[in-house]
């Protein structure tokens, strides 16, 4: 087995390489990751519950722009409840093929209903039905069969017509306060740069690995 350190490309990341806008920099890295990673939009979403206990899971980013990072979920689920109780979150993208990470911290808010409607309408029909069928995060007392019955019932309700977006399903926006770009280097002497939001824009500083 090749040692992890020996397999690193040792690609440098210098301050001069970075865009002044972290979202523009993210788009550059995301584009490069899209060329080599089968699911570059996968990100870890960390939240905190009302007791201050952390939680994390993988979700899919469905957009990144000057406002922030978007994802969609069931508003009745555990993560949405945690966001409601404590509207802050952290995101991590890890693109192992490029030996890169992007870490994001910020505040979270619900997306406007028209934006959730538009994204829901773009989903394939089976995924739309699934949003009605799954009582996300709740125990399935009837096992898998309960979920399949819910699916059959939802298919019957919407047979021959478009599937409406459930009121309990929609999007969130993570507005970043910090964005860090991490480039792996040999001997664990990685390159790290953190953007911090300020009133007039973003401050960038290099961090020790």
The pair of three-digit structure tokens given for residue 144, joined into one six-digit string: 């898998």
| Domain presence at residue 132 | no
155, HSE (Cβ side, Cα atoms, 13 Å): 10
What is residue 147's predicted lDDT score, i.e. its pLDDT? 87
| Domain presence at residue 137 | no
What is residue 6's predicted lDDT score, i.e. its pLDDT? 61
Which domain, by its residues, includes 28? 4-116+167-207
Q: Report d(CA 175, CA 90) in Å as an integer.
A: 10
What is residue 10's predicted lDDT score, i.e. its pLDDT? 85
| Domain presence at residue 122 | no
Across residues 167-178, what is the average pLDDT?
98
| pLDDT tens column, 52-102 | 999 999 999 999 999 999 999 999 999 999 999 999 999 999 999 999 999
**pTM of the entire predicted model:** 0.93
Q: Quote the number of domains for the chain.
A: 1
In angstroms, the Cα distances linking 149 to 53, 129, 133 are 34, 12, 8
| pLDDT tens column, 108-167 | 999 999 999 999 999 999 999 999 999 888 888 889 999 899 999 999 999 999 999 999
What is residue 167's predicted lDDT score, i.e. its pLDDT? 97
| Domain presence at residue 62 | yes
| Domain presence at residue 68 | yes
Provide the 10 A C-beta neighbour count for residue 205.
Answer: 10
| Domain presence at residue 21 | yes
| Domain presence at residue 121 | no
Q: Report d(CA 208, CA 205) in Å as an integer.
A: 10
Listed in sequence order, the residues at least 6 apart from 81 whose beta carbon sits closer than 8 Å to its beta carbon are 49
Active site residues: 188
Q: Domain containing 28 — which CATH number?
A: 2.30.110.10
In angstroms, the Cα distances linking 10 to 85, 184, 188, 190, 206 are 42, 7, 10, 9, 17
Listed in sequence order, the residues at least 6 apart from 144 whose beta carbon sits closer than 8 Å to its beta carbon are none
């Amino acid at each position: 087995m090749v040692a992890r350190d020996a397999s690193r490309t040792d690609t440098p990341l210098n301050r001069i390489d970075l865009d002044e806008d972290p979202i523009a920099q993210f788009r550059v890295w995301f584009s490069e990751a899209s060329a080599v990673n089968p699911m570059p939009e996968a990100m870890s979403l960390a939240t905190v519950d009302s007791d201050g206990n952390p939680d994390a899971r993988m979700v899919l980013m469905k957009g990144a722009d000057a406002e922030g990072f978007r994802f969609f979920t069931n508003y009745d689920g555990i993560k949405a409840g945690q966001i409601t109780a404590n509207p802050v979150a952290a995101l991590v993208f890890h693109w192992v093929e490029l030996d890169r990470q992007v870490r994001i911290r910020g505040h979270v808010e619900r997306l406007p209903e028209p934006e959730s409607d538009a994204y829901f309408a773009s989903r394939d029909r089976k995924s739309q039905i699934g949003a009605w069928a799954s009582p996300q995060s709740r125990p399935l007392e009837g096992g898998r069969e309960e979920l399949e019955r819910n699916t059959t019932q939802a298919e019957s309700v919407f047979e021959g017509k478009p599937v409406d977006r459930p009121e309990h399903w929609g999007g969130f926006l993570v507005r970043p306060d910090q964005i860090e770009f991490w480039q792996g280097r040999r001997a664990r002497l990685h390159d790290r740069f953190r953007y911090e939001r300020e009133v007039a824009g973003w401050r960038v500083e290099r961090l020790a690995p």
